[in-house]
Structure formats: structure tokens, C-alpha cells
A and B are shown apart, each in its own frame.
Chain A
Amino acid sequence: MRPRWRFVKILVYLLPVAFLGVFFVYPILTLFDISLRPDGALDLSAFAHLTSSDYYRETLLFTIYQALISTGATLLLSLPCAFVFARYRFRGRSLLLSLATLPFVLPTVVVALAFSAVLGERGLVNDMLRLLFALDEAPIQLERTLAIIIIAHVFYNFSVALRIMTGYWSSLGFHAEEAARCLGAGELAIWRDIRLPLIRPALLSAGVLVFIFCFTSFGVVLILGGIRFATLEVQIYYQAVSIFNLPLAAALSLVQIASMLLMLLVYTASQRRLQIPHGGRSEHSARPHTPRARMVVFITVGLMAILLFSPLAALLWRSLFAAGNLDATGFTSLAEKTRASLLFTTPLEAVFNSLRFALIATSAAVILGTAAAFLIEQRGVWSRLVDPLFMLPLATSAVTLGFGFIVALDEPPLDLRRSWIIIPVSHALAALPFVIRSVLPSLRAIPPSLGEAASVLGARELVKLRTIDLPLVGRGLVVGATFAFTVSMGEFGASLFVAQRESVTIPVVIYRLLGHPGLQSYRQALAMSVILMLVCAGGFLIIERLRGAGVGEF
């Protein structure tokens, strides 16, 4: 290898490492510093306060408790659906599977608002029940209960579990269960002896991932639950922003980081088991022939559609109709300044902000993520070191990240607290692991012989990169870009911390509008949520389609 090429390579590899160092490691270390040495000397009083207080112990316990229930409910619902999706081929299957991913890319504030639109006191279901039974009060009182938080979490994470399990189940195939059937196993015995044991790695993997998401859930808990149901994440926000107890907030962040690291370890371990091939083939699904099978498919798909799309439909309905009449004032007033004094910008400007930040964050995340993926793929000592390092942002909650930013990047040369650039930077950081995880599998799937063949045929390093590696990871890149874009559009926790008045994003504006009394604010929040939902859904669908068209090229 020529020295100049080597130099360029090292420079490219250094980029993501430097980015991670400055915008992740440094802020987190600052958090450590604040929590452990608030006044320059070692002072563990914040931790002492944490451990001695029942209140904070309960916060941690509640965080775990709600995540456990949410995870259990998600798995319980998605397992049979995954089976149906893996087992049967039916019309609209791939479309539904694609659409099922939609909730996952939706921002938490949108999901929270969608659920209040369908199940809340002013929600569709209550409206209908009131109308039907001529009631004065809303019969379903779910707002600010644990139940609505859990339902929203299920909605949110359903597709994650569904995708992991469907994919794994399809790759396993159904020969093992057919073999068991021929050996005399009935339906019950097959579930007990074959299906559940075989799907267990995917169940575990999906479970840990969903648990992680629920553990760090911020927007859903903040909006649907209120302070009564404070999770660690919400508590950090309150301590830092409302009470301004920075050492305590930092100590809570450390607890959060430690818990997440632990779970990430479990997750990587479960992932490793997931990759063990069982010698299955890929095409196993069959049409549901028997009436019973058709019934199973019909019921599953029906229930899934209701769970997944009724909140979104309710959100859309609520944003366009008030008391049964068309009322689009939520949309038409977006360009007006609201009476909410918190907002100096109009909601429309927030839309432009969000789009601008998302484009910057996506470009940054894709470039840095691809460089990082190539670095990890080197398979040296270096790569083994940096691989888990790049996953850390995933293990750090958005709130912690945002908090770290404002306490760390506050003095020259890195005084970014008042700069808008800090928002796309935080988004890019959050999106980085997604990009890496999307690119890495396709990169690893390229057999070394391809590069060697290209070399033998006369391709130089750069030509090899351009003609072999990049085209082959193209699909992964597109997937990574989707993630980055949607992550940025919907990012709430960090933005809430770092956004300045003139640089607020859509989710932040929605949250502020919700906190402001008055019908106009509520309708504007609904309208903004619909816009955000459509942007995320649109971007997602476009890229899904691009990906579908691109597959044929390689």
C-alpha cells in the first residue's frame, strides 16, 4: 500500500473518532466531574442523597418496572404476529410489514399525542362512548396512568420486536416443526418443544432491545404520564431544568449510563447467539390454505392494523375536525406567532429548522458512520476497541446527552451552547450507531475475494472503494440514512435541552404548545404532529422504495 493512501485512510478513520471524543466522551466525562466533584473536590453527597432517598430509589424501580411490563406486553403481542408473518404469505404482507415499522420511526411526541388523541379524555374513543351512551364524563380515564404509557410503549416497539422475530423465524424456516409434526407432535407440543425454544434467541434479543427503549423512554412518559410517573429520564430533566440541581441530575445520569451499559452488554451477548445459523433456508412461507389458517391470519392482521393505525388515524382526524366539523385552524395558524410567550418563532419556522437540522445531521452521520464502519471492519486491535465505543451513544439516553452538552460545551474554544450547530451535532451523534449498524453487515458480507479480484484486474485502492465496496454497501447506506433522518426529525430529549428559542425543532414546539393552555395551542400541536408524522412516514416510504429498486442492481 502506498504511503499517501495510507495517510488519507488514517485521516478518514480519525474523523469519527475525533467527533465521538469531542461530542460524546468529553461531555460525559464532564457529567462525571460535576456529579463527583461539584465544587472541585470529591463530594459524593449527590450519590448519598440518591441512595438514601426512597423517592429516587422508587424512581429507579419504577423505571425498571414499567419497562418490564412494556417489554412483556410487546413480546406477548408481537410473538404470534411474527409467527403469522413468517409462516404465511398473504396479500399485503410485505406492505403491512413495511407499514408496521412506521410507528418506530415516529417521534415520541407524535406517538404520545396520537395516544391522547385516541384514548385520552378528549380522545376519539371517549367521544364515541359518550355519544353512544349519553355520558357526561369520559368513561375511559387513561390519561396520566401507567396503562396508557404501556400501551404507547407497545405501539412504539411492536415493530422492533416484530421485525427481529419475523426475520429470525423466516431464516429458521419451518422444517423443524414439520419434522416434529411428522413425529407426532400436536400444535401445543410444537409451540412448547420447537417454536418457543427455537425463537428464544430472537425473543431475548428483541426483549432486551425493547427494554432499553422503554427504560430510556422520555417523551411518552413526560407527556402521557406527567411527573407522577417520573422515570430516571424524566427525573434528570426535572432536576436539571426545573430545580437546577445539576449534581443530582448528573448523578442520576451516571446511574442511567451504568444501567444502559449493563443492558447493552446483555444485548450484544444475545445478538451473538442470534447469528448462529441453524442451516435454514429462506423461502418457507406458504399461503394459508385451511379455513383455520385464514382465520388466524385475518385476526392477527386485523388486530395489528387496529393497534398500529388507530392512533395515527385519530391524530389525523383530531387535527382536521373539531366537534365533527372540519376545522383546519391548527394548520392555517402555523405561520402565526402564538400567544405563548415561550415561542418567539412561529411553528412553521420550527418545521424549517427541523428539516435543515435533519439534512445536516444525516449527512454528518452517514459520512462519519461509513468511515467508522470501515474502521471497525479493519479487524485489528483498533477496531475491537472502537466498535463498542461507537455503540455508546445508543446506550446513552438523549436527555443525558443533551444535559452533557450544556454543561460541557459552554466555554471557548467550544462554546456551542448558544449555537444552533449543537442540535444537528447531537442528532448526528444519536444517529451514528444506527448508520454503523446498517452499513457494517453489508460491509462484512463482502467477501475478501471481491477486492482481490478487483486488484488483480487492475483496480487501485480508491477505485476499489468506489467500484466495489461503496456500491455493495449502498443498500446499507440508504437504510442508515433513513434512520439518521428520522432519528433527527423526531429527536426530543436532547433538543429540549439544547434548543435555543430561535432554533427550536418540531418536537420541542409540540411539547411547548402542549404545556400551554388553550384550544389553539392544542390544535397547533396536533397539526405539527401530523406534519411530523407525514414527513417521517414520507421519508421512510421513499427510502424504502429506493431501497427496493436498488436491490436489483447488485
Chain B
Amino acid sequence: MLRVKEVSHAYGELVSLRQVSLQAAAGEIVCLLGPSGCGKTTLLRIIAGLETGYRGRVTWNDVDIGNLPAHQREFGLMFQDFALFPHMSVADNIAYGLKRRGLRRPLVNKRVTAQLERVGLAGMGERDVASLSGGQKQRVALARSLAPNPRLLMLDEPLGSLDAQLRDQLALELRGLIKEQGLSAIYVTHDHREAYAVADRIAVMDVGSVEQVDTPQDLYLRPGSGFVARFLGMTNVFPWRRSRFTEALGKAALPEQKCGDSLLIHPAGIQLGGAVADRSLQWDGVLLSKVFRGDYYDVSVSLDEGTTLAFSAPRVAAEPGDAVSIAVSLEAVIPLVS
């Protein structure tokens, strides 16, 4: 199991990681999710042994690996730009790590063939890597990092340079392949939907620190801070002390523990019009906008004082400018730390 303990790192004056702790159990896929520049790639490079000059500890099965050079860690790393060796064929790329482990030629060839089949590139071993499409390059990079049976697989935005259609499909495949080998994996991405699809647990990072670690479901339902909520695409974050909520919610007698600096009105708990459930609040407002998304509409409703709630609704008959009423489930009111 991988354990990162209170790791701090700086590029000159620029602090990139601040006391970051994280762990990945055997067979677990942990996603590092955050905006660019939040330090997730740096953390990955520290785990890989490519970045030195940090404080804190990195252990594998409780053994400190801080002084172990990258080439002795037996971790796999898949780069965002794939970093395929341009002067080698597909097969030679995949064979590289096996040869470094001192495997004999016949065994290397067998393993390369098996890897090529596994990633769906059977028979393409002799191809020049420059002749491959983006998706194929991604598969070669994956096969190359999987071939030497790494103890831990790290993936840095592995789908970042691919187009959206390919991304959804490959995210699923990736998870399947990692789970099939029972690998521990650290997966870096800035796309929360990709993280939901791939991860067992997600660590959301903001400038240099881990904000929240949770399963995808828990993260979605209960984001812990305004930053996490916004990063997951939820915009209904308000200061707790705003009079309208104090009043309204005070009346509704929220559970005692629900108090923080600010609150999130979870979009999943907002309904347009319709019947009012037991534990819910009802507010009147004006429909600001509705955007057709196919199966649903993205709508925003302005309550008075300029407070705007965004959520999605299956059917919207009202037009922008119409008066509407909304129902907010009390479970959807989530206290946040600033």
C-alpha cells in the first residue's frame, strides 16, 4: 500500500504542495482531481521518484522509498503526452521495461504479444509509433507501463489529449484493465466526470493541498467545501449568514450540526414546481434561463435579492421571465467550510 505523509514541495518561491497526505490501498484506484496548477502532477512525480527536494515521507508497504531512485521503484507511470520513444517500434516500446528487468528475449516477446492483445493492438508490434492515432498511442503507453507488472500504476491525465468521444469509452476500458490486474493506481485528471467513472476514491486538490477524499458518490452528494462544490460544477454556494436562508431555513428547523461558513444547495435536491415533499422548502422566483440538453434542461431561477439557483429539470414548460416556484429538499442544504 502506498502512503504519502505530509509532503510539501516548492519550485523556488512557488509552493506547489502543502502538507499533503494520501494513501492508496492494494487494488484501489485513487483519483487526484483538481484544476491545472494545483500540484497533482507534482505529487505524482514525487511518488514516481522523478521529483526530489520535497519534505515529508513516501512509503510503500511501510518502507520509506524516499531515497529509492525512480528506476528501482517498479512503479508504472503513464505520461499525459504518452512519452513514447519515437525511435523505437511499438513492440520495442512495450518491451523496454521488461528488458530493464533483465527478462530473456523469448519471455519478453511473449509478454509484449500478450500486452498488445490485451490493449487491442494485436499484430501492430512492428509499427512505427509516429504512425499511430491518438487512441492507439494511448494504448501503447498503457501497455508499456503495464507490461513489467508494476507494483503501482500512475496515470497523468491519460485521456487528456484525446477527444471527448474516445475519452468516455477509454475511461471505462482503463478501469477494467487496472481492475483486471488488481493494481493499485493513482489517476490524475481535471475532469470530474472522468474521475467519477474511473476512481474508487477521489482526492480533490486545490492549490497545493488535498481538500477532500471520498468515494465518487459521497463526493458528489456531500462536497465538503465551496471549492470542491464549484469544481464539481455546482454553483449554488452561498454564505450561510445571508438573511434569506437564515430566515427560511431557520423556520424549517435544520439539524443542529448543519452549520458552517457557507452552504450549498445541491442541484439534485431542487425541483421545479410540482408537489412539495415533506421535508422541503418552497420558494418563488423567476425563470432566468433554460438550456435544452436533450434528456433534460439546465435552468436557472432567480429568487429575489439576486440569489440565483442553477439545477437541471426533466421538463420545463415555463419560459424565461415567467414566475416559477421551486421546492428544495432539506437534505440538499449542505453546510460547507470556506
Which residues of A pack against B, CB within 8 Å? Answer: 173, 175-176, 178-186, 189, 193-194, 197-198, 200, 276, 278-281, 287, 289-290
Looking at the assembled complex, report how far the CB atom of A377 sits from the nearest CB atom of chain B, in whole angstroms: 27
**B87 pairs with A198, CB closer than 8 A:** yes
The distance in angstroms between the C-alpha atoms of A197 and B148, with both chains bound, is 23
Which residues of B pack against A, CB within 8 Å? Answer: 11-12, 48-53, 69-77, 79, 81-87, 96-97, 100-101, 130, 144-145, 148
**A287 pairs with B11, CB closer than 8 A:** yes
Q: Kindly identify which residue among B52, B74, B81, B101 contacts A279, using a CB–CB cutoff of 8 Å.
A: B81
Q: Kindly identify which residue among A176, A193, A287, A290 contacts B83, using a CB–CB cutoff of 8 Å.
A: A176
Say whether, besides A287-B11, A289-B52, A184 and B71 are in contact (CB < 8 Å): yes
- List 16 A-B residue pairs with CB atoms under 8 Å apart, sorted by A's residue number: A176-B86, A178-B48, A178-B70, A179-B77, A179-B79, A180-B85, A180-B100, A181-B50, A181-B69, A182-B50, A182-B145, A183-B100, A185-B96, A198-B86, A279-B82, A289-B51
The distance in angstroms between the C-alpha atoms of A184 and B150, with both chains bound, is 10
**B97 pairs with A184, CB closer than 8 A:** yes
**A183 pairs with B97, CB closer than 8 A:** yes
Looking at the assembled complex, report how far the CB atom of A201 sits from the nearest CB atom of chain B, in whole angstroms: 10
Chain A residues, CB < 8 A from B74: 184
Looking at the assembled complex, report how far the CB atom of A288 sits from the nearest CB atom of chain B, in whole angstroms: 9
The 7 closest A-B pairs by CB, nearest first: A183-B97, A184-B100, A289-B53, A175-B83, A179-B83, A182-B77, A181-B70
Say whether, besides A181-B50, A182-B145, A183-B100, A197 and B81 are in contact (CB < 8 Å): no
Chain B residues, CB < 8 A from A179: 77, 79, 83-85, 144
Say whether, besides A182-B71, A184-B71, A198-B86, A189 and B77 are in contact (CB < 8 Å): no
Q: Kindly identify which residue among B11, B73, B81, B97 contacts A280, using a CB–CB cutoff of 8 Å.
A: B81
The distance in angstroms between the C-alpha atoms of A277 and B100, with both chains bound, is 27
The distance in angstroms between the C-alpha atoms of A180 and B73, with both chains bound, is 12
Looking at the assembled complex, report how far the CB atom of A199 sits from the nearest CB atom of chain B, in whole angstroms: 10
Q: Kindly identify which residue among B53, B70, B79 contacts A290, using a CB–CB cutoff of 8 Å.
A: B53
Looking at the assembled complex, report how far the CB atom of A162 sits from the nearest CB atom of chain B, in whole angstroms: 23
Looking at the assembled complex, report how far the CB atom of A379 sits from the nearest CB atom of chain B, in whole angstroms: 25
Looking at the assembled complex, report how far the CB atom of B86 sits from the nearest CB atom of chain A, in whole angstroms: 5
Looking at the assembled complex, report how far the CB atom of B187 sits from the nearest CB atom of chain A, in whole angstroms: 15
Looking at the assembled complex, report how far the CB atom of B31 sits from the nearest CB atom of chain A, in whole angstroms: 20
Q: Kindly identify which residue among B53, B86, B87, B144 contacts A183, using a CB–CB cutoff of 8 Å.
A: B144
Chain A residues, CB < 8 A from B69: 181, 186
Looking at the assembled complex, report how far the CB atom of B311 sits from the nearest CB atom of chain A, in whole angstroms: 39
Chain B residues, CB < 8 A from A287: 11-12, 53
**A193 pairs with B81, CB closer than 8 A:** no
Closest chain A residue to B102 by CB distance?
A: A184
Chain B residues, CB < 8 A from A280: 81
The distance in angstroms between the C-alpha atoms of A180 and B86, with both chains bound, is 12
**B79 pairs with A184, CB closer than 8 A:** no
Chain A residues, CB < 8 A from B73: 182
Closest chain A residue to B150 by CB distance?
A: A182
Chain A residues, CB < 8 A from B130: 276
A-B contact number at CB 8 A: 85
Closest chain A residue to B85 by CB distance?
A: A176
Closest chain B residue to A193 by CB distance?
A: B96
Looking at the assembled complex, report how far the CB atom of B143 sits from the nearest CB atom of chain A, in whole angstroms: 12
**A290 pairs with B81, CB closer than 8 A:** no
Closest chain A residue to B80 by CB distance?
A: A175
The distance in angstroms between the C-alpha atoms of A279 and B133, with both chains bound, is 13
Say whether, besides A176-B85, A278-B86, A182 and B11 are in contact (CB < 8 Å): no
Closest chain A residue to B52 by CB distance?
A: A289
Chain B residues, CB < 8 A from A175: 79, 81, 83
Q: Can you name 10 extra interface pairs (CB under 8 A) apart from A175-B81, A180-B100, A182-B76?
A: A176-B86, A178-B77, A180-B85, A182-B97, A184-B74, A184-B100, A184-B148, A186-B69, A198-B87, A200-B87
Say whether, besides A197-B87, A278-B86, A287-B11, A183 and B148 are in contact (CB < 8 Å): yes
Chain B residues, CB < 8 A from A197: 87
Chain B residues, CB < 8 A from A278: 86
Looking at the assembled complex, report how far the CB atom of B307 sits from the nearest CB atom of chain A, in whole angstroms: 43
**A181 pairs with B71, CB closer than 8 A:** yes
Say whether, besides A178-B50, A181-B71, A189 and B12 are in contact (CB < 8 Å): no
Chain B residues, CB < 8 A from A289: 51-53
Closest chain B residue to A280 by CB distance?
A: B81
Chain A residues, CB < 8 A from B51: 289
The distance in angstroms between the C-alpha atoms of A276 and B129, with both chains bound, is 13
Chain A residues, CB < 8 A from B101: 184
Looking at the assembled complex, report how far the CB atom of B262 sits from the nearest CB atom of chain A, in whole angstroms: 37
Looking at the assembled complex, report how far the CB atom of A274 sits from the nearest CB atom of chain B, in whole angstroms: 13
**A281 pairs with B81, CB closer than 8 A:** yes
Looking at the assembled complex, report how far the CB atom of A184 sits from the nearest CB atom of chain B, in whole angstroms: 3
**A182 pairs with B81, CB closer than 8 A:** no
**B100 pairs with A189, CB closer than 8 A:** yes
Chain B residues, CB < 8 A from A183: 71, 76, 96-97, 100, 144-145, 148
The distance in angstroms between the C-alpha atoms of A276 and B128, with both chains bound, is 14
Say whether, besides A175-B79, A290-B53, A186 and B12 are in contact (CB < 8 Å): no
Closest chain A residue to B156 by CB distance?
A: A175
The distance in angstroms between the C-alpha atoms of A289 and B10, with both chains bound, is 11
Chain B residues, CB < 8 A from A178: 48, 50, 70, 77, 79, 83
**A185 pairs with B83, CB closer than 8 A:** no
**A184 pairs with B77, CB closer than 8 A:** no
**B70 pairs with A182, CB closer than 8 A:** yes
The distance in angstroms between the C-alpha atoms of A194 and B86, with both chains bound, is 9
Looking at the assembled complex, report how far the CB atom of A335 sits from the nearest CB atom of chain B, in whole angstroms: 52
Closest chain B residue to A172 by CB distance?
A: B86
Chain A residues, CB < 8 A from B12: 287
The distance in angstroms between the C-alpha atoms of A185 and B148, with both chains bound, is 12
Looking at the assembled complex, report how far the CB atom of A484 sits from the nearest CB atom of chain B, in whole angstroms: 36
The distance in angstroms between the C-alpha atoms of A492 and B96, with both chains bound, is 52
Looking at the assembled complex, report how far the CB atom of B244 sits from the nearest CB atom of chain A, in whole angstroms: 48
The distance in angstroms between the C-alpha atoms of A272 and B101, with both chains bound, is 36
The distance in angstroms between the C-alpha atoms of A193 and B85, with both chains bound, is 9
The distance in angstroms between the C-alpha atoms of A198 and B101, with both chains bound, is 22
Chain A residues, CB < 8 A from B76: 182-183
Chain A residues, CB < 8 A from B82: 279
Closest chain A residue to B48 by CB distance?
A: A182
Chain A residues, CB < 8 A from B96: 180, 183, 185, 193
Closest chain A residue to B74 by CB distance?
A: A184
The distance in angstroms between the C-alpha atoms of A193 and B88, with both chains bound, is 10
Chain A residues, CB < 8 A from B145: 182-183
The distance in angstroms between the C-alpha atoms of A278 and B86, with both chains bound, is 7
Looking at the assembled complex, report how far the CB atom of B96 sits from the nearest CB atom of chain A, in whole angstroms: 5
Chain A residues, CB < 8 A from B87: 197-198, 200
Chain A residues, CB < 8 A from B72: 184
Chain B residues, CB < 8 A from A181: 49-50, 69-71
